[in-house]
Amino acid sequence: MKALQQLGLSQRGACKAIHARHRSSRERPSTKAQEDAHWAKRLTEVAHTHSEHGCRRLYEDYGRDADPAHDEYMNYKRFRRVYRVANLQIGRRRRRGRAKIVRGRPLRRAARPFEGWTLDFIHDRLFSGRAVRVLSMEDEFSRSGLALEASFTTVDR
């Protein structure tokens, strides 16, 4: 912006040329933002002692561990805002992968289609209450369904 001003543009014109807010050069952080930065630091300390807890559980920990001499009461909305400012979000849990070892022996993966199949029974009940059992068979490599064999169970319990 200084370079544009040296070329003879006003501050307003320079801001317009670089698509910046006119006030941003003179703006100071608000007192709320300064306070949030202080609380974000305090919250980070609490989060490191309870690293496995998310926002809700951490809010309970903060309320329980708060020192009345140093920590003021903070409602949940403010706590959540400071939690986001401090960037303390925990990543989502990842789904477990498929089993790699069964009974001490590593599983052999299918390398091409029709090398291995999986069978599974699926149970369900009809609206009338009658039980249905379906045998599903699929190719292990391509995950394509080979067969579905459905029948009613012979003995209803």
Q: What is the pLDDT along the chain (157 residues), one digit of tens a residue?
A: 566 667 787 877 877 888 877 766 566 767 777 778 878 888 888 888 877 888 888 888 888 877 776 667 788 998 888 888 888 877 777 777 777 777 777 778 888 988 888 899 999 999 998 999 999 999 988 889 999 999 997 765 5
Which residue in 147, 144, 92 sits closest to 122, CA to CA? 147
Q: Which DSSP state fits 25?
A: G
Q: Which residue is it, tokens 């920590």?
A: 71
The pLDDT value given to residue 4: 67
What is the pLDDT, as a whole number, of residue 88?
A: 83
Q: Residue 1 in contact with residue 15, Cβ under 8 Å?
A: yes
Residues 54, 79: contact at Cβ < 8 Å? no
**What is the per-residue pLDDT for 24?**
60
Residue from 68, 69, 99, 84 nearest 36 by CA: 84
CB-based burial, 104-124: b 16+ in 10 Å, e otherwise:
eeeeeeeeeeeeeeeeeeeee
Return the pLDDT at 131: 92
Strand segments (E) across the chain: 101-102, 105-106, 117-125, 131-139, 145-152
The pLDDT value recorded for residue 47 is: 83
- Rounded to whole angstroms, how far apart are CA atoms 129 and 138? 28
What pLDDT is recorded for position 153? 78
User: What is the per-residue pLDDT for 114?
Assistant: 87
